A and B are shown apart, each in its own frame.
Chain A
Amino acid sequence: MSIEVQHVNKAFGDFKALNEINLAIESGELVALLGPSGCGKTTLLRIIAGLEKPDSGHIIFNGDDVSKRDVRKRNVGFVFQHYALFRHMTVFDNVAFGLRMKPRRQRPSETEIRAKVMELLQMVQLDWLADRYPEQLSGGQRQRIALARALAVQPEILLLDEPFGALDAKVRKELRRWLANLHEEINLTSVFVTHDQEEAMEVADRIVVMNKGVIEQIGTPAEVYENPANEFVYHFLGDSNQLQLNDQQIQFRPHEVELSRQAAPELQAGIVRDIRPLGAITRVTLKVAGQEQPIEAEVVRDNINLIGLQRGQTLFFRPNAS
């Protein structure tokens, strides 16, 4: 199901949370809303879900204007940042909730509900936890139960608010891949909110970069990283170096550097402050005369210039932004 956001504005008192938002998401896409906290991304997600009313503008699902449609009738799955599992219900009852709330005529029988819930729990690999209560689960387990609960009513749109925000680093990585696979398997349109650019780059088909209530850029991970529309996007999507060259200020990413042990006219000199092996790459921090900010260079770990390199030595470099 496609989603269209047209001319959406939203203010809380004097604070303008969203300013003229226009966005089109195609059916089956996995889109990330990326931006710093307070940029309006969660508000946008809640407006799409129907949890918040925009001051003006329209939300369109598959060509139907749903702006006035009640939250119950929009048929979206929503996963809250802190999951919002019903604390007094077992895992099973949590997942069954949406099915049991259906009007009597559409409601499946208890046997059908049982089968459907167990199927969902198997899908998230937690069928063995059916009788537990949410407080007895780990963060990652709660997250997957919240997802199973949202999927139980067979939504065509899945919305996730900071789905990995409350998890520790390792679980977060696992779940990211799992979510991306799941999205492939069950043909859904998914939108998730995150403030973590790495997460957005790894999971999303397209990234919507937001700042202060406006959309700065929309594009594939490669597009927004390689061709940032402006300063903000450039800085938000990755680390960057600033170098004062004559009268000019140059910006480049840490991996866009060429190193050399020999001086040359086109090369800058820097004193090695730190050498950090980070797995496949190694990061060298250089102090350049005449500027406070150090330069970080990331090169493959077997780069020839690293052999025998020590702190305090002088190294020569050149930004090679393509």
Chain B
Amino acid sequence: MARSVSPVIPGFNLTLGYTLVYLSLIVLIPLAGMLVYAAQLSWQDFYRIISTPQVVSALKLSFGAALVAALVNGFIGTLLAWVIVRYRFPGRKIIDALIDLPFALPTAVAGIALTTLYAPKGLLGQYASDLGIKVAFTPFGIVLALTFVTLPFVVRTIQPVLEDIPRELEEAATCLGANSFQVLRHVLIPALLPAWLTGFTLAFARAVGEYGSVIFIAGNMPGKTEILPFLIMVKLDQYDYLGATAIGVMMLAVSFVFLLLINLLQRYLIKH
């Protein structure tokens, strides 16, 4: 079955075998186990669990907030990547290095820090409440936390692409009489879009499943600021394994459809 690039390089059977066994034991079999477990439920039962108002509102909140956070990152991330790649200014290196902080910082730490910062009496929260904006314990706070933890994705996916776009390309376009808007539309956006979408997708997928950074700032008010992972947690605390499994399977299915759609869009864009 296998055709190696070069028959003198040994270890194909060993490494492939090890990879498959390890991946199956840690990831694939447990995930399949969840699907098998869910099969105990009839379609009616399954539908009954996932159509309660609590689950529906959590579903909307989880996917909605993730989508907004990914979009915000699509904007902020592009800005940061652009500034880091194109300009030389004081503090550039430190900004570049600290962009990855949300990846390195434990999500629970991020969660309590953001909650304290944006609580009504917090450092920033007090100004927000002066303006009549509530951040902590609202969907706004959830979006904020998700934006924080997924900040690096868009920056890190478009940064290398941006570095590879030769300045000459823009200069050539300018010499041909294009204004900045036209350069943006016809040169930069087409070149960046596939990577941007990849970053967007990664951020979205991570945001949908995120738990640690969100539960503190969300406040978890039933029907208002409960996210899906939190509901699974609640069901597990009540030893309602079937309920937790049903929500988990639904979450995976919806994520899968979303990712598939984005993937199709990406293919469409690459073709045209």
Please provide the chain B residues from 88 to 108 with a CB less than 8 Å away from any CB of chain A in the complex.
none
Question: Is A183 close to B, CB under 8 A?
Answer: no
Residues 58-72 of A, flagged 1 when their CB comes within 8 A of B and 0 if not, give 000000000000110
Rounded to whole angstroms, the CA-CA distance of A53 and B6 in the bound complex is 9
Please provide the chain B residues from 1 to 20 with a CB less than 8 Å away from any CB of chain A in the complex.
6-8
Rounded to whole angstroms, the CA-CA distance of A52 and B5 in the bound complex is 9
Rounded to whole angstroms, the CA-CA distance of A51 and B8 in the bound complex is 6
CB contacts (< 8 Å) of A53 on chain B: these are 7
CB contacts (< 8 Å) of B8 on chain A: these are 50-51, 70-71
Rounded to whole angstroms, the CA-CA distance of A52 and B8 in the bound complex is 8
Rounded to whole angstroms, the CA-CA distance of A70 and B6 in the bound complex is 13
Q: Which residue of A lies closest to B8 (CB)?
A: A71
CB distance from A161 to the nearest CB of B (A): 13
Q: Which residue of A lies closest to B6 (CB)?
A: A51
CB distance from A279 to the nearest CB of B (A): 38
Once A and B bind, how many residue pairs between them come within 8 Å at the CB atom?
9
Q: Which residue of B lies closest to A70 (CB)?
A: B8
Rounded to whole angstroms, the CA-CA distance of A53 and B8 in the bound complex is 9
CB contacts (< 8 Å) of A70 on chain B: these are 8
Q: Which residue of B lies closest to A52 (CB)?
A: B7
CB distance from A14 to the nearest CB of B (A): 13
Rounded to whole angstroms, the CA-CA distance of A71 and B7 in the bound complex is 10
CB contacts (< 8 Å) of B6 on chain A: these are 51-52
CB contacts (< 8 Å) of A52 on chain B: these are 6-7
Rounded to whole angstroms, the CA-CA distance of A53 and B5 in the bound complex is 11
Rounded to whole angstroms, the CA-CA distance of A53 and B7 in the bound complex is 7
CB contacts (< 8 Å) of A71 on chain B: these are 8
CB distance from B2 to the nearest CB of A (A): 13
Rounded to whole angstroms, the CA-CA distance of A71 and B8 in the bound complex is 7
Q: Which residue of B lies closest to A12 (CB)?
A: B3
CB distance from A11 to the nearest CB of B (A): 11
Please provide the chain A residues from 183 to 215 with a CB less than 8 Å away from any CB of chain B in the complex.
none
Q: Which residue of A lies closest to B7 (CB)?
A: A53
CB distance from B11 to the nearest CB of A (A): 15
CB contacts (< 8 Å) of A50 on chain B: these are 8
Please provide the chain A residues from 12 to 51 with a CB less than 8 Å away from any CB of chain B in the complex.
50-51
Rounded to whole angstroms, the CA-CA distance of A12 and B208 in the bound complex is 44
CB distance from B81 to the nearest CB of A (A): 29
CB distance from B241 to the nearest CB of A (A): 49
Rounded to whole angstroms, the CA-CA distance of A70 and B7 in the bound complex is 10
5 contacts between A and B (CB under 8 A): A50-B8, A51-B6, A52-B7, A53-B7, A71-B8
8 tightest Cβ-Cβ pairs between the two chains A and B: A71-B8, A53-B7, A51-B8, A51-B6, A52-B7, A50-B8, A52-B6, A51-B7
Interface of A toward B, CB cutoff 8 Å: 50-53, 70-71
Interface of B toward A, CB cutoff 8 Å: 6-8
Known: A52-B7, A53-B7, A71-B8. 6 other contacts (CB 8 A): A50-B8, A51-B6, A51-B7, A51-B8, A52-B6, A70-B8
